[in-house]
Structure 1
Amino acid sequence: MTPTHPPVPAESAGPAGLELRLGPVAHGGHTVARTGEGRVVFVRHGLPGELVRVRLTDSGPAARFWRGDVVDVLEADPHRRSEHVWAPADPLLSWRRGEPPVGGAEFGHAELGAQRALKSAVVTEQLARLAGLGTEVHVEAVPGEDPQGRGWRTRAHFAVDPAGRIGMHPHRSAAVVPVDGFPLVVPAIDALRLGRYDLRGADRVDVAAPADGGTPLVHLSLAAGADRDRLRRELARLAEDRDVSVTARADGQRETETWAGRPSVVEHVGPHRWEVSAEGFWQIHRGAPALLHREVPAAAGARPGEHALDLYAGAGLFTAALADAVGTSGGVVAVEGSPVTSADARRTFAGRPQVRVERGSVDRVLARTWPQAAPARGRRRPDRGGSAARPDVVVLDPPRAGAGRVVVDQLVALAPRRIAYLACDPATLARDLGRFRRAGWNVRSVRAFDMYPNTHHVETLAVLEP
C-alpha cells in the first residue's frame, strides 16, 4: 500500500515547497493536483501518482488555479529517469540554484515510453471531450529514434541575453537563461558552438541543419540599431573553418541579407528537393519529413487525374507527393500565408505546371477561389462551379491555433471526398473535428506520432470523409 502523506495547506507552505500528490496528465505538459483546500495546481515536471514538493510559480488568492514546478520527489514513478535528459531543463537542479528551468524539454524527466503514454492519454481525452470521439490513440515512435530522444531537432530557436549569449526562456517567462549546447538538436547544430559568440544586437537566432548532413544555416533577427559590421565580423569567425551559411534581417526590412554561404537550406525527401529560406517552415524532427511525406498524402488518397488542395502548405512537403499522385492530368493548389515560405514553394514547383501556389490566408484564398463555397447544411453537396476545379482531396496542416470555424465550414461546403488533417495541437484538432462531425462528417482514423521527444508536443493525423 502506498503510504499517505497529508497535504500541506497552501497558505502554510514554506520554502521547502507545497507537498502534493499528482493527479492525471493535462494538455500542455502538466499534471493536475489539488491542495488540502481543494485549489487546483497545474504542476510541470511530474508524473501521475507521484508525491512531490512543488515550488509555486504562478499563484495568488484571486487566481482560478495555480502553477508550479516539481522541486523534490518524495515518491517517484518507476518510469522517472534517474537523470534528466538536459540539466538546464531539470527543475530539481535549477531551482536549487535559485533559477527556473528552461523550456524545451519539459518531459525530459520521464522515459520515452512513459512520455508516449502521457501523450496518448492527452490525445484520447481531447478527442473525447471536444470531438465526442471514443477513439483510443496510441502515440507512435518515429522510426530510427534515439533511445533517449536526443539529436532530433533540425531547427532550433534561441533568444539572446544582454551580454550577447544565446539562451532560452523558462516557461511563461521573458527571461533569458544562457545555454551552451542543446542535446535535442542534431549534432551539426551543436557543433556550431554558438554559445561562444558575442551576438549583441540580435534579438533572436534561428538555426537550421538538413537531416542529410547538408550545410547548416544561422539566421539573426536584428534589433533596432544593431551594429551590423561587428556582428558580421563575429559571425565570420564561425564560417572560417566550417561550411555554414549566415543570414540576417531586421524587423521591417524587406530583404534578407546573406553574410555567408546561401540564403536557404537544401532539403531532400526521396527524389524531391526543396530550398527553404532561413525564416521558412519545415518539419523539425529529422525523421518527420520522410515519414509525413509518405503517410499524409497516402491518408488523403489522391488518384491520377484528381484535384488536390494543400492548405497551410509551407514549402510544399505534401504538395510534391500530391502532385506525384494526381499526375500531369490532375492538379494541386497549395495555399501558404507566409510570403517567405510561399516564395520558396513557388521556386520549387516552377517546373510543374499542375501545381499552383497561392499566397494568402487560407480562408481568404478559399473564398476568392471558390466564392460559392458558403457553409453547407448537413451533408448536402453544393452546386459545382467557381474559378477552379473543386478539390477531390484536401490536406491541411495548420499552425497550433488550428483551422478554425471559418475554414472548417468552407471545407464542408467544398465537399471533397476525403480530408487528411495533420495537427500539432490535439486540443484545436479535436475542436475542429467536432465541428466537422456536427456537419455530418465521419472521422475514419486517427494516428499520432512522437515527433517532439522529451516535450509534451505531439503530431496527430486524422482522416475525414463525408
Structure 2
Amino acid sequence: MSDTPWRVGDLLHGVEVGPIAHGGHWVARHDGRVIFVRHALEGEIVDVRVTGLARRHAFGDAVTITRPSADRVPEPCPVATVCGGCDFQHVRVPHQRELKRQVVAEQVRRLAGVEWEGQVEAVHPDDARWRTRMRYHRDENTTPSEWGLRQSRSHDIVALPEQGCLIAAAPLARVPANAPEGPAVMGALEGAEAVWVAPGDPRLIEVSAAHRRWSVRADGFWQVHPQAADTLVEAVLSGLHPRPGETALDLYCGVGLFAGALVDADVSVTGIEGSTTAVAQARRNVAGARFLAGDVARVLGPRDGRCRQGSPVPGRTDLVVLDPPRAGAGAAVMAQVMARAPRAVAYVACDPAALARDLATAAQGGYRVVSLRAFDLFPQTHHVECVAIVMPE
C-alpha cells in the first residue's frame, strides 16, 4: 500500500521539477510528497500524470509543460513520450551529457565516496541513427505488418510511426515485409546491410572492432553503438597498460572482445562467461585465450581467492576486466577479484549505481579508483557507459 493519497491516472497540476535522479526521472515534491517524473527538466513547472505508486513516493509523466526549461527541445518522434526506447528526446543533446554527468557523479559520491569531476564524452553519432541492433514486437492488437516497441515499463506495444525508429540505423528503422514470422523479430547490422532473424535463430554475423573480425549471433549481445566496442577497448587498454607476459581474467567476457584485445597485447587471458553460446563464439573469435562457461562467482571459487586443486582459474592474476550485466558484479565476485591481488582492474559498467556499489566493495579490499571515464553510447536515453580503473592503495 502507498502512503500517498494519489491514484494511478490522477493529474497533478503545477508541479515544480527538481534535480535529475538515477533512472531517467526528475525528483519533484507536490503536496509534501515525492514524485519521480519522466520527460521533465529541472526548474520546469509541469502537470504530471501519476503512473505508479510506491509506499513513500509516486511515479509520473510530465504531460503539460507550463514553464519550459531553456534546454527543452521538441521531440522529433511522435511516440517519444510513450515508447520505452528514448526518454531524453526532449533534451538538447549537449545537456543530455550534462545530466548523465550529474547522475554518475552523484552515484559514485553517495555510494562509493568517490569525488568525480570528469565529463561524459561524446561519441559519434551522438543524436540519431546509432543503434546497430533492434528488437521489434507485435501482438494480437496489431496487424501482421504492424511492428512496434515496448511501452516504457510495460509489455504493451507502441506501434512504429511512419518515419520508423529514429535512433535505429537506417536499414533497421523499419521491419521489412519479408521479416520472419512471429511475435518478435531481431534486426542486426552486418556492414551496411540489415540481417533479420527470429529470437533464438542461431545465425551468425560478422562485425569489425578492435582490429579484429568477430563472429556473433544476430540475436545475441554485442554493443549497439557502432563506436562502442572500439571506444571501450581503448579505455580499458589505456587504463590497464598491459605488459607482455602478464596474466588476465576477463569476467563476463561475452564473445571475447576484451580478451582479444589483451591477447593482442601479448597477455595470457582466461575468460569466464555464463552463456555457453557466447563462450563457444569466444573460443572461435579468440583462439589465443582460454574460456570457461559458468556462473562467474562459482567458477572463480571461494571468496578468499584460494585456487581449488585442479581449478582452471589462476589463483593470482596481474589484470582483471569486468563487464557485468546491469545489476553489477556483486560483493562476492569483487571479493574474489581483490583476493587475487591484481595490479589493475578495469570495470566496464552500464549502470552507475551498480558500479558505485562495487567500487565501494573494492575500496574495502584496499583498492582505489585511479580513473573513471563516462561515454555517451546511448544518445537520446538516460543510459551511460562507464569505465573505472582501480589499483591497490
Q: TM-score, normalised by structure 1?
A: 0.77
Is the 1:269–1:289 contact (alpha carbons within 8 Å) kept by the matching residues of 2? yes
| Structure 1 residue 166 corresponds to structure 2 residue 147 | yes
- 1:122-141 matched pairs, under 5 angstroms: 122-141=103-122
- Equivalents in 2 of 1:391, 1:412: separation in Å? 10
Q: Shift of residue 85 of structure 1?
A: 3.0
- Greater Cα radius of gyration, structure 1 or 2: 1
Question: In the alignment, does 2:58 pair up with 1:66?
Answer: yes
Question: Is 1:111 matched up with 2:92?
Answer: yes
CA distance in 2, matches of 1:397, 1:13: 37
Q: Cα gap change, 1:14/1:186 in structure 2, threshold over 3 Å: closer, same or farther?
A: closer
Alignment-derived partner of residue 247 in structure 2: 307
Name 1:243's counterpart in structure 2: none
What is the distance in 2 between the residues matched to 1:340 and 1:11? 47
Aligned-pair CA distance for 1:17: 4.2
Q: Does 1:426 align with 2:352?
A: yes
Q: Secondary structure at the match of 1:209?
A: strand
Indicate whether 1:363 and 2:297 are aligned: yes
Asked if 1:296 corresponds to 2:222, the answer is: no
SS in 2 for 1:430: helix
Verify the 8 A CA contact 1:80 1:111 in the aligned structure 2. yes
Q: Is the 8 A contact 2:210 2:229 kept in 1?
A: no
TM-score of the superposed pair, with normalisation by structure 2:
0.91
Counterpart pick for 1:145 among 125, 128, 139:
125
- 1:91-127 alpha-carbon deviations (Å, 9 max, x no partner): xxxxxxxxxx111110110011111111111100000
Q: Distance in 1 between matches of 2:128 and 2:386?
A: 21
Residue aligning to 1:187: 170
In structure 2, what is the equivalent of residue 76 of structure 1? Answer: 68
Greater share of strand: 2
Amino acid in the other structure paired with 2:172: I
Instruction: Give the partner amino acid of 1:145.
Output: P
Cα distance in structure 1, aligned partners of 2:90 and 2:75: 5
Provide the residue aligned with 2:39 in structure 1. 45
Q: Which amino acid aligns with 1:112?
A: V
CA-to-aligned-CA distance 1:258-303 (integer Å, 9 cap, x gap):
xxxxx11211125301110123211110111121122212212211
Contact 2:9 2:49 (8 Å CA) reproduced: no
Partner in structure 2 of residue 216 of structure 1: 194
Secondary structure of 2:261's partner? helix
SS at 2:171 equivalent = helix
The answer for the alignment partner of 1:331 in structure 2 is 268
1:136, CA displacement in angstroms? 2.4
* AA of the residue aligned to 2:273: E
Deviation at 1:45, TM superposition (A): 0.3
Residue 226 of structure 1 corresponds to none
Identity, in percent, stands at 42
Q: Which residue type is aligned with residue 329 of structure 2?
A: A
Q: Does 2:70 align with 1:87?
A: no
Which of 2, 5, 26 is residue 31 of structure 1 equivalent to?
26
Work out whether residues 13 and 48 of structure 2, in 8 Å CA contact, stay in contact via their aligned partners in 1: yes
Whether contact under 8 Å (1:161, 1:167) holds in the other structure is no
Structure 2 Cα separation of the partners of residues 315 and 458 of structure 1 = 22
How many angstroms does 1:219 deviate by?
2.0
CA offset at residue 14 of structure 1? Answer: 9.5
Deviation digits for residues 110-156 of structure 1 (CA, Å, limit 9, x no counterpart) = 011111111111100000111011222321111x324xx10111111
1:339/1:18 CA distance change after superposition, 3 Å: farther
Structure 1 Cα separation of the partners of residues 180 and 56 of structure 2: 40
Q: Which residue of 1 aligns with 2:157?
A: 176
Given that residues 31 and 43 in structure 1 are in contact (C-alpha distance below 8 angstroms), is that contact kept between their aligned partners in structure 2? yes
Matches of 2:381 and 2:86 in 1, distance apart?
5
The residue number in structure 2 matching 1:396 is 322
- From 453, 456, 461, the equivalent of 2:379 is 453
**Equivalent residue of 2:18, what SS?**
coil
Q: Number of aligned pairs? A: 383
- Give the conservation status (yes or no) of the 8 Å contact 2:324–2:349: yes
Say if 2:48 is the partner of 1:54.
yes
* 306-315 vs 449-458, which moves further: 306-315
1:346-379 Cα shifts (integer Å, max 9, x gaps): 11123x3xx1011111112211xxx6x6169xxx
CA RMSD after TM alignment: 2.5
Residue segments in structure 1 that go unaligned for 5+ positions in a row: 1-8, 91-100, 222-248, 250-255, 258-262, 377-381
